[in-house]
Amino acid sequence: MSDEIYTEDTEHHLDLRHLTLDDYEDVKELMDNVYRHVGGAWPYKNYKAQITTFPDGQICIEDKGKVVAFAISVIVDYDQFGDKHSYDEITGDAYLTTHDPNGDVLYGVEVIVSPEYRGLRLGRRLYEARKELCRNLNLKSIMAGGRIPNYAKHSAEMSPYEYIEKVKSKDIYDPILTFQLSNGFEVKQIMQAYLPEDKASKGYATLLQWHNIYYEPGNPQLIGGKKSSARIGCVQWQMRYFENVEELIQQVEYFVDALSDYGCDVALFPEFFNAPLMGLAESESSIDAIWHLAEYTDEILTATSLLAVSYNINIIAGSMPVIEEEQLYNVSYLCKRDGTIETQYKLHPTPHEKKDWIMKGGNYLRCFDTDFGKIGILICYDVEFPELARVLSEQEMQILFVPFWTDTKNGYLRVRRCAQARAIENECYVAIAGSVGNLPKVDNVDIQYGQTAVFSPSDFAFPHDAIVSETTPNTEMTLIVDLDLDKLTTLQNEGSVRNYLDRRRDLYRVEWLGGED
Residue 429 pLDDT exceeds 50: yes
Which pLDDT score, from 0 to 100, does residue 344 have? Answer: 98
Report the mean per-residue pLDDT for the chain.
90
Q: Which of 149, 179, 211 is the last residue of a domain?
A: 211
For residues 357 and 472, state if they share a domain.
yes
What residues act catalytically?
A: 271, 346, 380
| Backbone dihedral angles phi then psi of residue 45, each to the nearest 5 degrees | -65, -35
For residues 431 and 480, state if they share a domain.
yes
CATH classification at residue 255 = 3.60.110.10
Which pLDDT score, from 0 to 100, does residue 194 have? Answer: 75
Q: Is residue 370 part of a domain?
A: yes
* Residue 425 contacts residue 386 (beta carbons within 8 Å): yes
Q: Is residue 92 part of a domain?
A: yes
Amino acid at 458: S
Q: Is 143 helix (H, G, I), strand (E, B) or coil?
A: strand
How much is the average pLDDT of 345-360?
95
Confidence tier at 5 by pLDDT (50, 70, 90): very low
The overall pTM is greater than 0.85: no
Buried residues in 462-490 as b, exposed as e (16+ CB within 10 A)? beeeebbbbbeebebebbbbebbbebbbe
For residues 293 and 193, state if they share a domain.
no
Residues of the domain holding 482: 230-486
CATH classification at residue 89 = 3.40.630.30
Q: Which of 157, 179, 211 is the last residue of a domain?
A: 211
Which pLDDT score, from 0 to 100, does residue 222 have? Answer: 58
Q: Is residue 161 part of a domain?
A: yes
Q: How far is CA 234 from CA 130, 258, 263, 313, 355, in A?
A: 40, 11, 13, 12, 30
Buried residues in 41-53 as b, exposed as e (16+ CB within 10 A)? bbeeebbebbbeb
pLDDT digits (tens, 9 = 90+) for 146-182: 889 899 899 899 998 999 999 989 999 998 899 888 8
**DSSP notation for 388-412:** HHHHHHHTT--EEEEE---SSHHHH
pLDDT digits (tens, 9 = 90+) for 318-348: 999 999 999 999 999 999 999 999 999 999 9
Which pLDDT score, from 0 to 100, does residue 516 have? Answer: 65
pLDDT digits (tens, 9 = 90+) for 262-285: 999 999 999 999 999 988 877 777
Residue 370 pLDDT exceeds 60: yes
Q: Is 203 helix (H, G, I), strand (E, B) or coil?
A: coil
Which pLDDT score, from 0 to 100, does residue 443 have? Answer: 64
CB 208: neighbour CB atoms within 10 A? 23
For residues 139 and 185, state if they share a domain.
yes
Cα–Cα nearest to 437, from 236, 206, 253: 236
Cα–Cα nearest to 436, from 467, 416, 401, 409: 409
Q: Is residue 43 part of a domain?
A: yes
For residues 324 and 466, state if they share a domain.
yes
For residues 29 and 101, state if they share a domain.
yes
Q: Is residue 294 part of a domain?
A: yes
Strand partners, 430: 400, 455
The proportion of the chain whose per-residue pLDDT surpasses 90, expressed as a percent, equals 68
Residue 10 pLDDT exceeds 80: no
| Backbone dihedral angles phi then psi of residue 40, each to the nearest 5 degrees | 75, -150
Q: What is the largest CA-CA distance in the chain?
A: 96
Q: Is residue 491 part of a domain?
A: no
How much is the average pLDDT of 122-143?
92
Q: Is residue 223 part of a domain?
A: no
Distance CA 367, CA 357 (A): 28
Which pLDDT score, from 0 to 100, does residue 517 have? Answer: 57
CB 57: neighbour CB atoms within 10 A? 25
Q: Is residue 220 part of a domain?
A: no
Question: For the CA atoms of the chain, what is the radius of gyration?
Answer: 30
Which pLDDT score, from 0 to 100, does residue 191 have? Answer: 83
Buried residues in 389-423 as b, exposed as e (16+ CB within 10 A)? bbbbbbeebbbbbbbbbbbeeebbebbbebbbbbb
* Residue 416 contacts residue 451 (beta carbons within 8 Å): yes
Residue 477 pLDDT exceeds 90: yes
For residues 86 and 121, state if they share a domain.
yes
Query: What total number of domains does the chain contain?
Result: 2
The proportion of the chain whose per-residue pLDDT surpasses 70, expressed as a percent, equals 95
Q: How many CA atoms lie within 13 A of 344 on its CB side?
A: 26
Which pLDDT score, from 0 to 100, does residue 3 have? Answer: 46
